[in-house]
Structure 1
Amino acid sequence: MTENHTTVSESIVAELADDDTASVLAGQADVVDAVLAANRVFVAVAAGALANLEPEVTLPQFRALVLIDIHGSMTVAELAEALGVVPSTATRMCDRLVAKDLVDRTVDSANRRQMTLTLRAEGHALIAQSTRRRKREINRLLKSIPLQAQADLAAALGTLVQAAHGSDRTRASRPLRS
């Protein structure tokens, strides 16, 4: 192991020292480092897929669009919870998405203080275009990996996704509270 690698691994364990997972991670620092490196690749691919799209959206705005799309409709409070932000931050984000004609915001007939968010056709189209770009870039990256390694990667990522769906700490997979 290089000195830098040890420092990164030790810093991960130190960050989680008061966490129950620290003891598990102590023996898995290489795996954590690999997942973090892969995460950086995925974030770069996602950011690249949003580049030069019209209208322009940030990664957090895109994440909000995807969450609304997944749920069909959401209240601003539900979106704030899913994003892990305070409602005022979600409201400002929604103001921008409404101004870009990507989201409709309507007053809930049952509770006039609640706003319901739904995607406009333009929001669906932006998600589809970004998804096509991400798939194209991921396919380009995968072409340099042998087929068996691709199969192993798919299995490992599938296992990671399943673990995320079972974790209360993974906001992207947390169900919304009723």
Structure 2
Amino acid sequence: MEDSDGRTDYIGPLEDPRPSLAADTTAAVDILVALWTRTARTGTPQLSALQLHALHSVRTAPGLNLGALADAIGTAPSAASRLCDRLEAAGMIRRDPSPANRRTIGLTLTRRGQDALDAVSARRERLLGEVLDRMPADTRGQLLTGLRAFATASCAADLDERHRD
């Protein structure tokens, strides 16, 4: 680039923005996770992140057995069993024999479990709405576009990973 004295300043190669982008994204996700988990611990009932993950997994796949739940939430079957004991005692899940194989126990979300998930989702939407309302409208649109692209890329990465196994 030439200045008024006719000198050319060298501008080095453009830096790869990905390391900074990854660090900035990590920081933003940390904030989002803090907001996300806080909504599960506030209100009634208070649920841990693992309890919420288990309830979501059971809602997504009714009849899921204990081993599949353990895989879905990334824990040992014994820990998943203890977690289910607590959720069942709280009236949020039910264990039922599978109609196909009576030796297999399927997990089902109860009305109370569904209500708990709905309450947490409502608190999350309200809190995220408050944050989004403080953002300029054009950046909200950019955020949504970026998150959709991120979700698409993440799904593609998941598919690639499954094909390598």
Q: Does 2:146 match 1:156?
A: yes
Structure 1 runs of 4+ aligned residues shifted over 4 Å read none
Aligned to 1:71: 61
Structure with more relative contact order (C-alpha pairs < 8 Å, separation 6 or more): 1
Read off the aligned partner of 1:63 and give its amino acid letter.
H
Q: CA deviation at 1:27?
A: 5.5
Separation in 2 of the partners of 1:107 and 1:73? 9
TM-score w.r.t. structure 1 length?
0.74
Q: Do the aligned partners of residues 102 and 38 (structure 1) sit closer, same or farther apart at CA in structure 2, a change above 3 Å counting?
A: same
Q: Decide which moves more: 83-92 or 130-139.
A: 83-92
* Aligned residues with identical type, % of pairs: 27
Structure 2 runs not aligned, ≥5 long: 1-15
Tell me how large the CA RMSD over aligned residues is.
2.1
Query: Quick check: 1:105–1:117 contact (8 Å CA) kept in 2?
Result: yes
Q: Does residue 80 of structure 2 align to residue 85 of structure 1? A: no
Taking the aligned partners of 1:165 and 1:73, their CA distance within structure 2 comes to 25
Alpha-carbon separation, structure 2, partners of 1:94 and 1:117 = 9
Alignment partner for residue 48 of structure 1, among 29, 38, 49? 38
- Over alpha carbons, which structure has the higher Rg? 2
Equivalence for 2:20: 30
How far apart, in 2, do the equivalents of 1:167 and 1:112 lie?
Answer: 37
Residue 30 of structure 2 aligns to a residue whose secondary structure is helix
Partner of 2:7: none
Does residue 90 of structure 2 align to residue 139 of structure 1?
A: no
